[in-house]
Amino acid sequence: QQQVKQSPQSLIVQKGGISIINCAYENTAFDYFPWYQQFPGKGPALLIAIRPDVSEKKEGRFTISFNKSAKQFSLHIMDSQPGDSATYFCAAGDGYALNFGKGTSLLVT
Amino acid sequence: NAGVMQNPRHLVRRRGQEARLRCSPMKGHSHVYWYRQLPEEGLKFMVYLQKENIIDESGMPKERFSAEFPKEGPSILRIQQVVRGDSAAYFCASSPETAANYYGYTFGSGTRLTVV
Protein backbone atom coordinates (compact mmCIF):
# COMPACT_ATOMS: atom_id res chain seq x y z
CA GLN A 1 0.00 0.00 0.00
CA GLN A 2 1.14 3.54 -0.72
CA GLN A 3 2.20 5.04 2.59
CA VAL A 4 2.71 8.51 1.15
CA LYS A 5 0.20 9.98 -1.28
CA GLN A 6 1.31 12.81 -3.53
CA SER A 7 -0.62 15.20 -5.74
CA PRO A 8 -0.87 16.46 -8.38
CA GLN A 9 0.69 13.94 -10.74
CA SER A 10 1.72 16.73 -13.08
CA LEU A 11 1.84 20.50 -12.88
CA ILE A 12 2.39 23.30 -15.37
CA VAL A 13 3.33 26.70 -13.99
CA GLN A 14 4.30 29.89 -15.71
CA LYS A 15 7.72 31.36 -15.08
CA GLY A 16 7.62 33.48 -11.95
CA GLY A 17 4.60 31.67 -10.55
CA ILE A 18 4.23 29.53 -7.44
CA SER A 19 4.37 25.74 -7.70
CA ILE A 20 2.60 23.81 -4.95
CA ILE A 21 2.85 20.07 -4.43
CA ASN A 22 1.01 18.25 -1.66
CA CYS A 23 1.61 15.03 0.24
CA ALA A 24 -0.30 13.10 2.87
CA TYR A 25 0.78 10.25 5.11
CA GLU A 26 -0.82 7.86 7.57
CA ASN A 27 1.99 6.51 9.74
CA THR A 28 2.42 8.77 12.77
CA ALA A 29 5.80 7.14 13.46
CA PHE A 30 7.31 9.01 10.52
CA ASP A 31 9.81 11.55 11.81
CA TYR A 32 11.49 12.91 8.72
CA PHE A 33 9.90 14.46 5.63
CA PRO A 34 12.24 15.27 2.75
CA TRP A 35 11.58 16.47 -0.76
CA TYR A 36 13.72 15.21 -3.60
CA GLN A 37 14.23 16.66 -7.07
CA GLN A 38 14.97 14.33 -9.96
CA PHE A 39 16.03 15.23 -13.48
CA PRO A 40 15.73 12.71 -16.33
CA GLY A 41 18.45 10.08 -16.18
CA LYS A 42 19.64 11.21 -12.76
CA GLY A 43 19.19 10.05 -9.21
CA PRO A 44 17.04 11.90 -6.67
CA ALA A 45 18.75 14.84 -5.04
CA LEU A 46 17.70 16.15 -1.64
CA LEU A 47 16.05 19.53 -1.98
CA ILE A 48 14.79 20.34 1.50
CA ALA A 49 13.60 18.39 4.53
CA ILE A 50 11.64 18.97 7.72
CA ARG A 51 11.14 17.28 11.09
CA PRO A 52 7.63 17.07 12.63
CA ASP A 53 8.44 19.50 15.45
CA VAL A 54 8.59 22.36 12.95
CA SER A 55 5.63 23.73 10.96
CA GLU A 56 7.58 25.46 8.22
CA LYS A 57 11.05 25.49 6.76
CA LYS A 58 12.34 27.81 4.07
CA GLU A 59 15.49 27.53 1.98
CA GLY A 60 15.77 30.11 -0.75
CA ARG A 61 12.77 29.79 -3.06
CA PHE A 62 11.72 26.46 -1.55
CA THR A 63 9.42 26.16 1.48
CA ILE A 64 8.00 23.12 3.23
CA SER A 65 4.77 23.57 5.15
CA PHE A 66 3.98 20.81 7.64
CA ASN A 67 0.62 20.12 9.32
CA LYS A 68 1.11 17.38 11.90
CA SER A 69 -2.54 17.13 12.96
CA ALA A 70 -3.70 16.75 9.36
CA LYS A 71 -0.75 14.49 8.50
CA GLN A 72 -0.01 16.59 5.45
CA PHE A 73 2.97 18.48 4.12
CA SER A 74 3.58 20.52 1.02
CA LEU A 75 6.34 22.01 -1.08
CA HIS A 76 6.06 25.57 -2.34
CA ILE A 77 8.41 26.79 -5.05
CA MET A 78 8.32 30.56 -5.29
CA ASP A 79 9.27 32.45 -8.44
CA SER A 80 9.36 29.19 -10.40
CA GLN A 81 12.01 29.04 -13.13
CA PRO A 82 12.37 26.85 -16.25
CA GLY A 83 15.36 25.19 -14.56
CA ASP A 84 12.97 23.94 -11.86
CA SER A 85 11.29 21.69 -14.44
CA ALA A 86 11.84 18.22 -13.00
CA THR A 87 10.07 15.47 -11.10
CA TYR A 88 9.59 16.10 -7.40
CA PHE A 89 9.12 13.37 -4.82
CA CYS A 90 7.99 13.74 -1.26
CA ALA A 91 9.04 11.07 1.19
CA ALA A 92 8.65 10.10 4.82
CA GLY A 93 10.76 7.90 7.04
CA ASP A 94 10.83 6.40 10.52
CA GLY A 95 14.22 4.77 10.70
CA TYR A 96 16.58 4.28 7.83
CA ALA A 97 14.20 3.60 4.94
CA LEU A 98 12.23 6.23 3.09
CA ASN A 99 8.68 5.85 1.74
CA PHE A 100 8.28 7.88 -1.42
CA GLY A 101 5.25 9.41 -3.09
CA LYS A 102 4.67 8.67 -6.78
CA GLY A 103 6.12 11.97 -7.90
CA THR A 104 4.97 15.20 -9.52
CA SER A 105 6.22 16.18 -12.93
CA LEU A 106 6.66 19.96 -12.92
CA LEU A 107 6.95 21.98 -16.11
CA VAL A 108 7.72 25.67 -15.85
CA THR A 109 6.93 27.49 -19.10
CA ASN B 1 35.10 13.58 -3.82
CA ALA B 2 33.19 11.24 -6.10
CA GLY B 3 29.56 10.62 -5.27
CA VAL B 4 27.80 7.28 -5.21
CA MET B 5 28.85 5.40 -8.33
CA GLN B 6 26.53 2.94 -9.98
CA ASN B 7 27.25 0.82 -13.01
CA PRO B 8 26.28 0.02 -15.54
CA ARG B 9 24.06 3.02 -16.26
CA HIS B 10 21.96 0.97 -18.65
CA LEU B 11 21.59 -2.80 -18.76
CA VAL B 12 19.59 -4.87 -21.22
CA ARG B 13 18.90 -8.49 -20.42
CA ARG B 14 16.82 -11.16 -22.10
CA ARG B 15 14.21 -12.96 -20.05
CA GLY B 16 15.84 -15.71 -17.99
CA GLN B 17 19.28 -14.09 -17.83
CA GLU B 18 20.98 -12.72 -14.74
CA ALA B 19 21.46 -9.04 -13.98
CA ARG B 20 24.22 -7.73 -11.74
CA LEU B 21 24.06 -4.13 -10.59
CA ARG B 22 26.99 -2.54 -8.80
CA CYS B 23 27.13 0.32 -6.33
CA SER B 24 30.23 1.94 -4.91
CA PRO B 25 29.32 4.15 -1.94
CA MET B 26 30.78 7.55 -1.31
CA LYS B 27 34.18 7.60 0.31
CA GLY B 28 33.77 7.17 4.03
CA HIS B 29 30.25 5.76 3.75
CA SER B 30 29.72 2.28 5.13
CA HIS B 31 25.95 1.91 4.76
CA VAL B 32 24.24 1.08 1.47
CA TYR B 33 20.55 1.10 0.57
CA TRP B 34 18.95 -0.17 -2.63
CA TYR B 35 15.71 1.23 -4.03
CA ARG B 36 13.69 0.29 -7.12
CA GLN B 37 11.73 2.77 -9.21
CA LEU B 38 9.11 1.29 -11.50
CA PRO B 39 7.80 3.45 -14.37
CA GLU B 40 5.52 6.25 -13.13
CA GLU B 41 6.17 5.23 -9.52
CA GLY B 42 8.16 6.51 -6.59
CA LEU B 43 11.18 4.73 -5.23
CA LYS B 44 10.58 1.63 -3.14
CA PHE B 45 13.03 0.47 -0.48
CA MET B 46 14.53 -2.94 -1.14
CA VAL B 47 17.46 -3.65 1.15
CA TYR B 48 19.86 -2.07 3.66
CA LEU B 49 23.39 -3.40 4.00
CA GLN B 50 26.51 -2.69 5.97
CA LYS B 51 29.86 -4.21 5.16
CA GLU B 52 29.39 -8.01 5.09
CA ASN B 53 25.94 -7.75 6.69
CA ILE B 54 22.37 -7.55 5.46
CA ILE B 55 20.52 -5.40 7.99
CA ASP B 56 17.06 -5.30 6.44
CA GLU B 57 15.90 -6.99 3.25
CA SER B 58 12.19 -6.65 3.92
CA GLY B 59 11.55 -4.79 0.66
CA MET B 60 13.28 -7.27 -1.56
CA PRO B 61 11.32 -9.97 -3.43
CA LYS B 62 11.88 -13.34 -1.76
CA GLU B 63 12.86 -15.12 -4.94
CA ARG B 64 15.46 -14.33 -7.59
CA PHE B 65 16.79 -11.20 -5.83
CA SER B 66 19.85 -11.06 -3.61
CA ALA B 67 22.23 -8.38 -2.39
CA GLU B 68 25.67 -8.28 -0.86
CA PHE B 69 28.19 -5.73 0.34
CA PRO B 70 31.53 -7.49 0.73
CA LYS B 71 34.43 -6.33 2.84
CA GLU B 72 36.20 -5.21 -0.31
CA GLY B 73 34.53 -3.91 -3.44
CA PRO B 74 31.14 -2.55 -4.35
CA SER B 75 27.71 -3.62 -3.22
CA ILE B 76 26.03 -5.96 -5.71
CA LEU B 77 22.32 -6.36 -6.39
CA ARG B 78 21.76 -9.59 -8.26
CA ILE B 79 18.60 -10.56 -10.08
CA GLN B 80 18.43 -14.11 -11.37
CA GLN B 81 16.19 -15.29 -14.21
CA VAL B 82 14.96 -11.79 -14.98
CA VAL B 83 11.37 -11.22 -16.12
CA ARG B 84 9.83 -8.23 -17.92
CA GLY B 85 8.42 -6.96 -14.61
CA ASP B 86 11.96 -6.44 -13.33
CA SER B 87 12.43 -3.61 -15.84
CA ALA B 88 12.97 -0.55 -13.68
CA ALA B 89 15.52 1.95 -12.47
CA TYR B 90 17.54 0.69 -9.52
CA PHE B 91 19.05 3.30 -7.25
CA CYS B 92 21.64 2.93 -4.58
CA ALA B 93 22.13 5.36 -1.70
CA SER B 94 24.88 5.46 0.87
CA SER B 95 25.30 7.11 4.24
CA PRO B 96 28.17 7.52 6.68
CA GLU B 97 28.55 5.71 10.00
CA THR B 98 27.72 8.91 11.86
CA ALA B 99 24.39 9.32 10.06
CA ALA B 100 23.36 5.78 9.34
CA ASN B 101 19.90 6.63 8.18
CA TYR B 102 18.16 8.72 5.59
CA TYR B 103 19.45 11.99 7.04
CA GLY B 104 22.78 11.23 5.48
CA TYR B 105 21.56 9.71 2.21
CA THR B 106 23.28 10.40 -1.09
CA PHE B 107 21.77 8.68 -4.12
CA GLY B 108 23.61 7.45 -7.18
CA SER B 109 22.41 8.06 -10.74
CA GLY B 110 20.90 4.61 -10.99
CA THR B 111 20.98 1.61 -13.30
CA ARG B 112 18.18 1.36 -15.85
CA LEU B 113 17.41 -2.31 -16.38
CA THR B 114 15.43 -3.32 -19.44
CA VAL B 115 14.32 -6.91 -19.85
CA VAL B 116 13.46 -7.91 -23.41
* pLDDT bucket at B102, cuts 50 / 70 / 90: low
B31-40, pLDDT tens digit by residue? 999 999 998 8
Among B35, B105, B106, B109, the strongest candidate for a mutation testing the A interface, having the largest count of A CBs within 10 A, is B105
A6 touches chain B (CB under 8 A): yes
Q: What is the pLDDT of residue B1?
A: 54
* pLDDT bucket at A96, cuts 50 / 70 / 90: confident
What is the pLDDT of chain A when averaged over all its residues? 94
**How far is residue B66's CA from residue B88's CA, in Å, rounded to a whole number?**
16
Q: What is the pLDDT of residue B12?
A: 98
B49-89, pLDDT tens digit by residue? 999 999 999 999 999 999 999 999 999 999 999 999 999 99
Residues of B with CB below 8 A from A92's CB? none
Which residue type occupies B57? E
List, edge to edge, every strand of the sheet that includes A4-7.
A4-7, A19-25, A72-77, A62-67, A56-59
* pLDDT bucket at B28, cuts 50 / 70 / 90: confident
Cβ distance A97 to B108 less than 8 Å, yes or no, reads no
